[in-house]
Amino acid sequence: MIAMDMFKFAARSAYVFVALSLSPAMADQLIFRCVINGAITYKDEPCDAQGRAGAGRQPAPTGSGAAVQASKSEKSIDLNYSTPYGTWRGLAQYQVAVKGQPVREAHAVVPLVIEVEKQGRLQGISPANGCKMLGVAAPYVVPNMLKLDVTLSECRYTGLNQRYTGTLALSQASNSAQLSLQSMNSMVTVLMQGPANNDIKATMKR
């Protein structure tokens, strides 16, 4: 009888472990950092055989001494609060208002990861609402601030999928960066949906 009770307890424990491992809520929070042919990209699913994944972590350096040195240099940028370039993470608020009225199904406060490369390429991902971000960043008139021009795609609320402009402003005093984006509504969007305002804001850390 004791052996049978122990067997039932072990079976229940294994079931709970598997259920937690497959929980959609937990899976939605994973962000995989992949390196494919030297290019960094973020995905909401594991990298394929050509990429390396880190779920928000730096990939382990592999290959020649030059590759290891590049990995160390990249890591130093990601921990450096003296530059707006590198990797930033935080909770982002997505909002949409049409004709001055907020759209409830579009509103979300979810994790966002963005990568700003020194060459000016910007990409990001918010797995919880499906949004992916791709565009460019350029030096602005104020030190430690970048002017952004990005496009969102694959958002579950399709009204978010459009072009945005805004800024990424680094605050060395608080070791954080403020992300602010506003939609650029095309004439077609205005004619079909009426005047709309999409707004994305986030306080981000390394």
Do residues 182 and 57 make contact, with C-beta atoms less than 8 angstroms apart? no
Residue 123 has pLDDT above 70, yes or no: yes
- Roughly how many angstroms between the first and final C-alpha of the chain, as a whole number? 54
Residue 23 has pLDDT above 70, yes or no: no
User: By CB neighbour count within 10 A (0-12 exposed, 13-18 middle, 19+ buried), where does 176 fall?
Assistant: middle
pTM over 0.85: no
Query: Average model confidence (pLDDT) for the chain?
Result: 77
Quick: pLDDT tens for 26-38: 334 567 777 777 6
Do residues 114 and 123 make contact, with C-beta atoms less than 8 angstroms apart? yes
- Provide the 10 A C-beta neighbour count for residue 14: 10
Do residues 90 and 202 make contact, with C-beta atoms less than 8 angstroms apart? yes
Quickly state the pLDDT bin for 51 (edges 50, 70, 90). low
pLDDT of residue 191: 58
CATH for 85-205? 2.40.128
Q: Which of 94, 114, 104 is nearest to 162 (CA)?
A: 94
Per the model's pLDDT, the better-predicted residue between 194 and 92 turns out to be 92
Per the model's pLDDT, the better-predicted residue between 29 and 92 turns out to be 92
pLDDT of residue 35: 76
Quickly state the pLDDT bin for 189 (edges 50, 70, 90). low
